[in-house]
A and B are shown apart, each in its own frame.
Chain A
């Protein structure tokens, strides 16, 4: 019989943080990814453009400011409600450029294909990429194809890189963020992650949930009509709003306070998250934007965003504070506060 039971001494066992091998969580966009960047990539490659750790690097060349970004796309299944690997590969890189304040111009595309992958499926992905690029007004100007032995790849992966031009007058950076600034979110969160999860795991939630994959650069243009009022932007992909805002808070050395009731979540996404024990704040988006802006300009920016099809449900979801630098907190509906931590690794459905 257990003696001297002391409930105060019970706690959940610790998740491991130091793995000798790469685990899936290293690619989750959460804390394990951050560890790899801080402990491996940054020390090895260190330079000022990389150190900014933006979604895209902004570099100067020939008197121009260029935004430059790359991203690898490995989503399974290849086609999901609302999109496919093809749209993601185009829109994702466009968005990384757009949130750096750049007008996206050119993309590259590298295809890593497994032997035996049906040409017809590859063609469909490529056509969807072409349509997405056309719609966004960017050109895919260079590429590469590699085929790996059967069993050494999982169908098809795509890597894209992109170049965009940062307009004069646009100065974005976490160092520009001030206490009192407003945090704007362009629309409901969690759609992409739940859409993919629903087909990947064969879960049915009653209502069909579609990925929000979209190119955000025209929405960004409306925000940048008053370039001086915009401090910083991010697109909250893997790790969701929680990861993106934790990175913003850390980079800015400021705190962020969110209002739970202001954060838009579709009822069906909320229900699915509930069922799976996931927090919508940590679920991936592929067509949402977070902008930190001058509070005086927030109403006008919000109005312009809401006039754009991708910003109809835009909301001020919180503000920047001098308190608790580096941390994101959330005021709950009953008026309490909780810390929104950086997600550690893969999203894991809870048992209870």
Chain B
């Protein structure tokens, strides 16, 4: 990854930080939309070194987080059917449905496989004509072209034992929904570089104009992100609201035309439920009528599933900055990294886990 070294250069990063410090005269709240950007920000600690008052809010761009519960339940139910090979990207296996996750379905005998591409799932379907191979097609505009390609090839080659369980979601409607919500705090967005690599950034221009909000297309390396933040702060400070492309090495205004044409052929826009958010109109893709035969939801009628979200902890308020992890009554008692009640206690990205690990002696003395 030598070509990435300059985008990780600590000296360049520190230079950008100094410029952000110089530019920012007031507090601002910026949302990075994509889960990949969130991951990179937490991994490198960018959120810790920004000037006080400049707040990064994590966006809804994590497909694992927003895939609706009922679809996870459907995935588990389909995977459990005899004769089915259920294929998924790895990190969906650990996402809990109402009662269980795909790992557990696997331990109970379901044939659940981790693949790295929908084309691997298609290959499995070719090699196992007697089995029904289902691919869990989740994600944003980024993962959609490969899924579209898999189903297009399946139809061309007559691979009838292949299908997709589709839960594609789209970024622009989510940004609009955030901006329209009463009490919205987000003043600028870092748009997701990979999504824009496929789709371009023209869709964001009317959003920036309509809502008077800067939208900066940003990449994923520390220097990319800091440059995106710098440009967003500069626009905010100057009262501007434009779409800016800080990821020009990958993103053009119109995106990948071949991919967009394919997406337009295979998918059509539909309403989608977002886990933790609710229904957003015209915010997702489903298979277009010409490809409906490959829709796993209609192929496998798993019946009415009773869906139940587990009771929530106060991680929402923690993430919002409304309370500190230590203010939560469950912190360090019922809720620890070993027995987490909320996502914030689970991962390295979680505020509660960080608090717990740093201050465990103070809050929860070890039994010994």
Contact = CB atoms under 8 A, between A and B. Distances in A.
A341 B177 CA distance: 34
A297 interface: no
A22 B107 contact: yes
B337 interface: yes
B323 to A, nearest CB: 11
A333 B91 contact: no
Contacts, number: 231
B103 to A, nearest CB: 5
B116 A334 contact: no
Contact of A14 (B47, B279, B321, B343): B343
Nearest to B57: A7
A274 interface: yes
A347 B114 CA distance: 11
B26 to A, nearest CB: 20
B63 A6 contact: no
Contacts of A7: 31, 57-60, 178, 185-186, 320
Interface centre among B103, B315, B316 (most CB of A within 10 A): B103
Contacts of B31: 7
Nearest to B321: A8
A334 B44 contact: yes
Contacts of A201: 116
A352 B344 contact: no
A348 to B, nearest CB: 4
Contact of A203 (B95, B116, B346): B116
A348 B94 contact: yes
B276 to A, nearest CB: 5
Interface stretch (B156-164, B234-242, B355-363): B355-363
B60 A2 contact: no
Given A336-B48, A339-B353, A348 B93 contact: yes
B202 interface: no
A62 to B, nearest CB: 32
A10 B277 contact: yes
A352 B35 contact: yes
B354 interface: yes
B290 interface: no
Interface in A125-158: none
Contacts of A274: 1
A8 B320 contact: yes
Interface in A305-352: 323-327, 329, 332-342, 344-352
A333 B1 contact: no
B74 interface: no
B348 A338 contact: yes
A1 B294 CA distance: 29
Contacts of A8: 57, 316-317, 319-322
Interface in B50-75: 57-66, 69
Nearest to A342: B337
B307 interface: no
B276 A10 contact: yes
Contacts of A24: 103, 106-107
Given A8-B322, A341-B353, A351-B63, A327 B114 contact: no
Interface in B88-147: 89-96, 100-101, 103-104, 106-108, 114, 116, 138-140, 142-143
A47 interface: no
Given A324-B357, A349-B116, A352-B63, A10 B44 contact: no
Nearest to A333: B10
Contacts of A21: 104, 107-108
B42 interface: yes
B59 A2 contact: no
Contacts of B63: 351-352
A160 to B, nearest CB: 27
Contacts of A16: 94, 96, 100-101, 103-104
Given A203-B116, A332-B44, A2 B320 contact: no
Contacts of B261: none
Nearest to A272: B1
B109 to A, nearest CB: 10
Contacts of B116: 201, 203, 276, 349
A13 interface: yes
Contacts of B60: 7, 10
A17 B45 contact: no
A262 to B, nearest CB: 13
A17 B107 contact: no
A25 interface: yes
Contacts of B17: 334
Given A327-B357, A334-B46, A349 B319 contact: no
18 contacts: A2-B274, A5-B180, A6-B316, A9-B316, A11-B342, A11-B344, A14-B346, A17-B340, A20-B104, A23-B104, A25-B103, A253-B366, A325-B360, A329-B357, A334-B46, A336-B49, A348-B94, A351-B91
